[in-house]
């Protein structure tokens, strides 16, 4: 008989990153980036029971009214998971009697926060973590390890200096232990109504470092930039696949009347953008990160101020001394070291023609 803790334990044993439970569909785990069926005969009533067993009482009314819900759970082995539960009801996916089906996606989180040096990320992330103020962004697609990278950076601060750190998350994922810093973790929907409200409140709470789970909208972006301008170190994430795209996404998320101001603010406080993706190792031994790093040098900030983000790629190629590199250069490094395959490098590149030139491939696109 299934129970949710045993399903999660099985997923951890298989080194899965995600679990998918859906009424009327197989139970699936995502392992090394690939979705794999674990039980093709999972009964709909069993799937529903597993999903509802995770649902906190405080979220139940929202879910029963038709809303999707996000929350985190702790399991007996000491680990934590991020959960999204949602309804789906397209033709062919309704259960007997016309009842709308439900499904859950569970992201498995490490039961400890890994140190930065263990993640295979550039050393410049530690340097960025040591800054007293400014804006640092970690970007990448869903499942690329952004939350783990930010948690490692926050924990590095926590263990090396006495700061007041406020995190605003939806939901809270990693829980920080007590070290040198004082850390207050706030969950959207439980401790505060939304990201922007939490940020406005945070400025009155004597913070040194503010972690924002995601910069989702203009109100949150504006509040985050203001927090960085007023002398705080602000860290956040976006779902973008490159540094130049990240800058454009921030500005495009703002109303036209505010875009000039946002561009000027960003050019004054950006300290770094780290874009990452996780790629299957060629030897089958898990996944490895590939990164792109943009550092907020004077040249970088001038290009942003002058609306010349299309030139940031060239700047990163020539900015190794400042810790910068493009995604293609890191993919090339991994291919030439035999860590990933050439085919996988092309899948993750945001400029495959340029990548072909980097690694000397004669393939025609």
pLDDT band at 98 (very low <50, low <70, confident <90, very high): low
Backbone torsion region of residue 307, taken as left when φ is above 0, otherwise alpha when ψ lies between -120 and 50, otherwise beta? left
Tell whether 305 and 195 lie within a shared domain: yes
270-280 and 233-238 strand pairing: unpaired
- 82: domain range? 4-109
3-state secondary structure of 210: strand
Tell whether 20 and 156 lie within a shared domain: no
Tell whether 104 and 120 lie within a shared domain: no
Q: Does residue 341 lie within any of the structural domains?
A: no
Any idea what the CATH number is for the domain that residue 183 is in?
A: 3.40.50.300
Tell whether 170 and 309 lie within a shared domain: yes
Pull the structure tokens for residue 55: 């649902």
Tell whether 181 and 283 lie within a shared domain: yes
For residue 88, what are the contacts with CB-CB under 8 A and spacing of at least 6? 22, 100, 101, 102, 103
Q: Does residue 22 lie within any of the structural domains?
A: yes
Give tens-digit pLDDT for 211-255. 999 998 999 999 999 999 999 999 999 999 999 999 999 999 999
Give tens-digit pLDDT for 330-363. 999 999 999 999 999 999 998 999 999 888 754 4
Tell whether 124 and 251 lie within a shared domain: yes
Residue where a domain terminates, one of 59, 79, 109: 109
Residue where a domain terminates, one of 40, 75, 109: 109
Number of domains in the chain: 2
Any idea what the CATH number is for the domain that residue 79 is in?
A: 3.30.450.90
pLDDT at 163: 97
Residue 85: name the closest of 67, 98, 100, 73 by CA: 67
Q: What is the DSSP letter of 98?
A: G
* Entry pTM: 0.88
Residue 1 has pLDDT above 80, yes or no: no
209-212 and 164-169 strand pairing: parallel
Angle formed at CA 39 by CA 46 and CA 82, multiple of 5 degrees: 70
Tell whether 75 and 120 lie within a shared domain: no
For residue 56, what are the contacts with CB-CB under 8 A and spacing of at least 6? 71
b/e per residue, 21-57, with b = 16+ CB within 10 A?
Answer: bbbbbbbbbbbbeeeeebbeebebebbbebbeebbee
Residue 153: name the closest of 73, 209, 195, 206 by CA: 209
Residues 139 and 155: their CA atoms lie apart, in Å, by 19
Residue where a domain terminates, one of 71, 93, 109: 109
Tell whether 10 and 122 lie within a shared domain: no
């Amino acid at each position: 008989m299934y129970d949710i803790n045993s399903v999660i334990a099985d997923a951890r044993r298989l080194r899965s990153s995600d679990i998918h439970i859906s009424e009327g569909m197989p139970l699936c785990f995502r392992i090394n980036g690939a979705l794999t069926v674990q039980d093709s005969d999972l009964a709909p009533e069993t799937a529903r029971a597993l999903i509802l067993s995770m649902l906190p009482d405080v979220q139940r009314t929202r879910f029963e009214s038709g809303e999707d819900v996000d929350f985190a759970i702790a399991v007996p082995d000491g680990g934590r998971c991020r959960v999204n539960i949602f309804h789906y009801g397209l033709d062919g996916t309704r259960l007997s009697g016309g009842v709308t089906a439900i499904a859950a996606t569970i992201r498995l989180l490490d039961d400890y926060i890994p140190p930065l040096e263990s993640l295979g990320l550039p050393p410049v992330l530690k340097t960025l973590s040591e800054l007293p103020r400014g804006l640092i962004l970690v970007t990448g697609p869903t499942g690329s390890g952004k939350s783990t990278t930010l948690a490692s950076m926050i924990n590095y601060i926590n263990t090396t200096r006495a700061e007041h750190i406020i995190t605003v998350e939806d939901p809270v994922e990693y829980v920080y232990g007590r070290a040198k810093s004082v850390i207050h973790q706030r969950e959207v929907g439980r401790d505060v109504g939304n990201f922007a409200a939490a940020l406005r409140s945070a400025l009155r709470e004597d913070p040194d470092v503010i972690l924002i789970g995601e910069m989702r909208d203009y109100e949150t972006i504006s509040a985050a930039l203001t927090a960085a301008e007023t002398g705080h170190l602000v860290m956040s994430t976006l779902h973008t696949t490159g540094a130049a795209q990240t800058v454009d996404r921030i500005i495009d998320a703002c109303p036209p009347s505010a875009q000039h101001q946002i561009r000027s603010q960003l050019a004054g406080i950006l300290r770094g953008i780290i874009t990452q993706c996780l790629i299957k190792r060629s030897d089958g031994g898990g996944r490895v990160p590939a990164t792109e790093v943009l550092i907020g040098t004077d040249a970088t900030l001038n290009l942003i101020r002058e609306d010349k983000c299309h030139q940031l790629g060239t700047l990163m190629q020539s900015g190794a001394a400042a810790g910068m590199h493009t995604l293609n250069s890191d993919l090339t490094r991994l291919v030439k070291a035999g860590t990933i395959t050439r085919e996988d490098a092309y899948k993750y590149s945001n400029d495959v023609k340029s990548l072909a030139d980097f690694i000397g491939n004669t393939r025609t696109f």
